[in-house]
Structure formats: C-alpha cells, structure tokens
Structure 1
Amino acid sequence: MNHLRVLVTGSRTWQDTDTIHNALLAAWTDAIEADYDGITVIHGGAAGADTIADEWARAHRSDGVQVKKYEADWEGPCTSTCPPGHRKARRGGTEYCPFAGHRRNQQMVDTAPVVLAFQHAGSTGTADCIRRAEKAGALVRRWTA
C-alpha cells in the first residue's frame, strides 16, 4: 500500500478533538487526491493530541488509514551523545533520560513529509518537533490554543 505518512505532534493538554479530526480528514483527502491509498498517522503515544489522533486513525481504518506509534524510551539506555550525569530522578527512585523525547521526535520526523502540529500553552515538546520538521523540510501545518 502507498500511504502518505502524516505526523501528528501536539501538547498533552490539547483537548480540541474537532480541530484534529478536521486536520486529519483534510490530510487524508489531500492524499487520496494525490493518488495515495490513504494515510499513516504517526504519533508519539502521549496524552492529548497524540491520543486524539490515534483514536481518529483507528476509527477510520476501513477508509485506508493506518497508525504507527513511536513511544519515547524514557527509562532506557542513553546514547553516546548524552552528556554524563544528565539523567534525572523520578519519584520512586527510578531515573530517566530527558533526551528520550527528542530522540523519539527525530525518529518520527525522519519518516513523515507532512506534520500537523497542535500546540497548547507553549508546549516545549511540540516546539521541538516543529523545529526538527522544519529543518528536515517537511510541510508543517500549525494550530495553537
């Protein structure tokens, strides 16, 4: 199947489902008109915009919509580019890598030529993904709340 990969990035506090649904419907329509079989919705698996996009994609599977989730590996090992001593502590004694979200954002950006960004209250994770997408030359469409 020839699907257009569409990355949805957005704030965990985004609640406007209609805006995301309409943006995804427009992306799907554009893809069909451009002779794609449908779209694959890419997202990071977080609450808010990602969850809304995931639910929309799953509800439209019969229309040629697929979904791919890229979750950040917060507790996993760091990479060679991580500075020594940068891990942060969580309650309960576990540690996490604060750069895991950035690595995940880059992985998603590397796969999608179209990015739909839903930023609420200046979300820094969404801003990071937008910067990466623009640097990669992706088509970025933005909504703010």
Structure 2
Amino acid sequence: MADVRRVLVTGSSTWADQQTIAEALLEARRAAIQDGAEGIVVVHGACPTGVDKIAADWAEHNDVAQEPNPADYGTHGPNAGSVRNQHMVGLGADLCLVFIDNCASALCRRPKPHESHGAHHTADLARRDGIAVRKWTT
C-alpha cells in the first residue's frame, strides 16, 4: 500500500475561511511529500457545511483522497457527532488540523464567547492520542 499521511481535519460548521484551510492542507501535503510519503488522505466528518465541506471540496479539486466519516444520528442520537469524532481520532492520523469559531449554539448555557464544542473536543482527543495538532481560531 502507498505511504500516505492521514490528515484529520475538524472544525466549526460555521467556519467560512476557505483560504486558511486550503493553505493548511497544501502545507500538510508538501510536508508529507518532503518526508517521503506519496501524499495525504483528508479525514473529515462529512458535515455539509463549514470546515468539513471546505476540506472535502479542496480534496476533490486537488485530486487528494478523502475519508468522510458522517455522524450516524439514527444510531447515536444527539451524541452522534461526539461518537463520530472519537471514531475518527481512533482511526489514527499523522496530523490534526483544527479550525474553530466561537460557539454559536443557542442551546449552550456556558458564558459566551468560548470555542465550539465538537472541534475543541476532537482536538483534545487527538492530543491525548499523540497526534500532532495545529489550530486556527477566528
């Protein structure tokens, strides 16, 4: 099997800065190739908006393999996003790119502003698993 680096991309569904994500993914691909890998695979949560959508579009337009991991709300209910994030981290990655907006949930009772919950949680899980994490915030 070809040596490819797994790049886990996670972030806020409200993130709109395509250029920052594109630059981060280009840099990850360049670094992987410089280290002798054939390229990268972009691992994401398959959310139809925000970071996941931008990363998926970038991979498609740059002929880069991707591994979508949609949340299964039918099976896991309201915890589906968290279960999916734990699964993605558990699959392993060489690098985790995190793009976080402030929490925009009307249901959240924590004092604002603070970072969006899912992406922050995924970054923490990745760090605990020894995955290198690079983070951008708005």
For this structure pair, what is the TM-score category when the shorter chain's length is used for normalisation?
0.7 to 0.9
After superposition, the C-alpha distances for 1:4-37 in whole angstroms (9 at most, x for unaligned) are 0000001000000000000000000000001101
Instruction: Return the offset for 1:102.
Output: 1.3
Rounded Cα–Cα distance in structure 2 between residues aligned with 1:15 and 1:102: 22
Which residue matches 1:87? Answer: none
Q: Match of 2:59? A: 57
Question: Paired residue for 1:7?
Answer: 8
4+ residue runs of structure 1 moved beyond 6 angstroms? none
**Is there any run of 5+ residues in structure 1 with no aligned partner, and where?**
79-96
Q: CA RMSD in A?
A: 0.9
Paired residues, what number?
123
- Counting only pairs closer than 5 Å after superposition, residues 1-145 of structure 1 correspond to structure 2 as 1-46=2-47, 47-61=49-63, 65-76=64-75, 78=76, 97-110=77-90, 111-121=92-102, 122-145=115-138
Shift of 1:2: 1.3
- What is the TM-score with the length of structure 2 in the denominator? 0.86
Extract unaligned runs of 5+ from structure 2. Answer: 103-114
| Residue 131 of structure 1: how far off its partner (Å) | 1.0
**Structure with larger Rg:** 1
Q: TM-score, normalised by structure 1?
A: 0.82
Greater displacement, 49-58 / 101-110: 101-110
